[in-house]
């Protein structure tokens, strides 16, 4: 095993984060500045504001990651950064900063795919995961279902045909005036769970491993308007709003769970991993916890701080690339969108 210390930088969306991690996966530091307050009033991330904020924060966040880790800059053996997917301006700031460091310290650069970093983020806390694993990455930008074969290989089973699950939660929250990000607010408001939930229709997709959330969003919109079959509208009261939130959350959670359950039963896999921002959702954690316990499956869900965007998961994935000498050239480009292909169809 190749030893070393990785400095990783994450700036793909609205979090500026830096982490120092040893190749035996000790997190020496993981610093983060969230831009939630900046974007909240707009109900979503404003790309230009995000880039500007990254520029203001990246130096102090990286310096405090180095300082908190107790190592010297010269002890670092490689510099990693997220290069895809994400907001182009935001990605470029992390990449440029990482390139500058790599060049001046004469250390190799490692470009990391943000989605792959999420997918493997359970490795930060689960040191001996049992493969193969049915792995779901569920965030504001992605909903991807994988069979994870071993510590480096995976194949895609399904993906969303429209919105990501987090995006759907954020959009409904925006309609309700809850600010951004909406997922955590919906999670909070839905507790304690109302006794009676509204039944949403379940979604059928051509491939039974794919997801679709746009129809559910429209259904929620009609309910929100209090629209009856004759199209008459009325304001919902507080209890009705809570019930709507909790019911929408429940249907998103159930859509996610149904695909996981199908993948588990089709493949006879004994382990499940859920990662990405939406994996922080308490209802999803409860329901998948119960299912895995009942069916004696291993469950790997990171702590909340490793579900949402963070540089420790970027470092974790970078270690795999470092061990295989998969370094990036210094002209590494930012790639804002990436298509994740099905390999099973």
137 vs 269, beta carbon nearer ligand KG4: 137
Torsion of CA 142, 147, 153, 158, to 10 degrees: -40
Torsion of CA 201, 207, 208, 214, to 10 degrees: -30
Q: State in angstroms the smallest separation of the CB of 12 from Zn ion.
A: 7
Long-range contacts of 201-207 (CB under 8 A, 24+ apart): 202/251, 202/254, 202/255, 202/258, 203/255, 205/158, 205/161, 207/158, 207/342, 207/345
Helices (H), 129-232: 165-175, 182-189, 214-224
Q: State in angstroms the smallest separation of the CB of 233 from ligand KG4.
A: 27
Q: Which of residues 267-296 bind ligand KG4 (CB under 6 A)?
A: 276-278, 280-281
Q: State in angstroms the smallest separation of the CB of 342 from Zn ion.
A: 21
- Using CA atoms, how far apart are residues 344 and 155, in angstroms rounded to an integer? 7
Which x/- pattern over 169-208 shows residues binding ligand KG4 (rule: CB under 6 A)? xx----------xxxx--x---------------------
Backbone angles phi, psi at 109, to 5 degrees: -105, 140
Name which of ligand KG4, Zn ion, none residue 281 binds, using a CB cut-off of 5 to 8 Å depending on partner kind: ligand KG4
User: Binding residues for ligand KG4, how many (CB under 6 A)?
Assistant: 19
79 vs 137, beta carbon nearer Zn ion: 137
Bridge partners (DSSP) listed for residue 258? none
280 vs 318, beta carbon nearer ligand KG4: 280
- Using CA atoms, how far apart are residues 285 and 264, in angstroms rounded to an integer? 17
102 vs 138, beta carbon nearer ligand KG4: 138
4 vs 166, beta carbon nearer ligand KG4: 166
Which x/- pattern over 118-157 shows residues binding ligand KG4 (rule: CB under 6 A)? ---------------------xxx----------------
* Residue 309 found at the interface with Zn ion (CB under 5 A): yes
- Using CA atoms, how far apart are residues 105 and 84, in angstroms rounded to an integer? 24
Backbone angles phi, psi at 217, to 5 degrees: -65, -45
Q: State in angstroms the smallest separation of the CB of 130 from Zn ion.
A: 25
* Residue 16 found at the interface with Zn ion (CB under 5 A): no
- Using CA atoms, how far apart are residues 156 and 160, in angstroms rounded to an integer? 12
102 vs 185, beta carbon nearer ligand KG4: 185
| Residue whose entry in the numeric block shows the structure tokens 């990449």 | 95
Give whole-number Cα distances, 304 to 164, 275, 310, in Å: 19, 9, 10
Task: For residue 52, give the H/E element and its range.
Answer: helix 47-69
Q: Which of 22, 139, 281, 328 binds Zn ion (CB under 5 A)?
A: 139
**Which segment (214-222, 233-241, 294-302, 305-313) binds Zn ion by CB under 5 A?**
305-313
Residues that bind Zn ion (CB under 5 A): 139, 309
Residues that bind ligand KG4 (CB under 6 A): 13, 139-141, 166, 169-170, 181-184, 187, 276-278, 280-281, 308-309
């Amino acid at each position: 095993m190749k030893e070393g210390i990785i400095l990783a930088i994450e700036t793909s969306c609205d979090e500026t984060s830096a982490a120092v991690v040893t190749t035996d996966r000790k997190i020496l530091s993981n610093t983060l500045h969230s831009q939630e307050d900046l974007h909240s009033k707009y109900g979503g991330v404003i790309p230009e504001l995000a880039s500007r904020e990254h520029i203001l924060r990246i130096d102090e966040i990286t310096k405090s990651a180095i300082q908190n880790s107790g190592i010297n800059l010269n002890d670092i053996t490689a510099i990693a950064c997220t290069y895809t997917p994400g907001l182009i301006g935001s990605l470029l700031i992390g990449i440029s900063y990482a390139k500058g460091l790599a060049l001046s310290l004469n250390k190799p650069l490692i470009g990391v795919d943000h989605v792959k970093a999420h997918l493997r983020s359970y490795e930060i806390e689960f040191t001996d995961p049992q493969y193969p694993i049915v792995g779901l990455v569920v965030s504001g930008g992605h909903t991807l279902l994988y069979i994870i074969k071993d510590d480096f290989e995976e194949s895609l089973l399904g993906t969303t045909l429209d919105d990501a699950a987090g995006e759907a939660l954020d959009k409904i929250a925006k309609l309700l005036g809850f600010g951004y990000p909406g997922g955590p607010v919906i999670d909070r408001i839905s507790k304690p769970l109302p006794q009676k939930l509204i039944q949403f229709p379940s979604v059928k997709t051509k491939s039974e491993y794919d997801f679709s959330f746009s129809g559910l969003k429209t259904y929620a919109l009609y309910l929100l308007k209090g629209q009856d079959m004759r199209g008459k509208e009325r304001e919902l009261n507080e209890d009705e709003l809570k019930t709507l939130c909790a019911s929408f959350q429940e249907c998103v959670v159930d859509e996610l769970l149904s695909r996981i359950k199908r993948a588990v039963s089709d493949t006879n896999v004994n382990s499940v991993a859920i990662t990405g921002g939406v994996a922080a959702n308490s209802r999803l954690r409860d329901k998948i916890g119960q299912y895995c316990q009942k069916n004696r499956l291993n469950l790997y869900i990171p702590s909340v701080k490793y579900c949402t965007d963070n540089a420790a998961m970027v470092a974790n994935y970078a270690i795999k690339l470092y061990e295989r000498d998969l370094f990036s050239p210094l002209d590494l480009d930012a790639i804002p969108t990436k298509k994740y292909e099905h390999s099973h169809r």
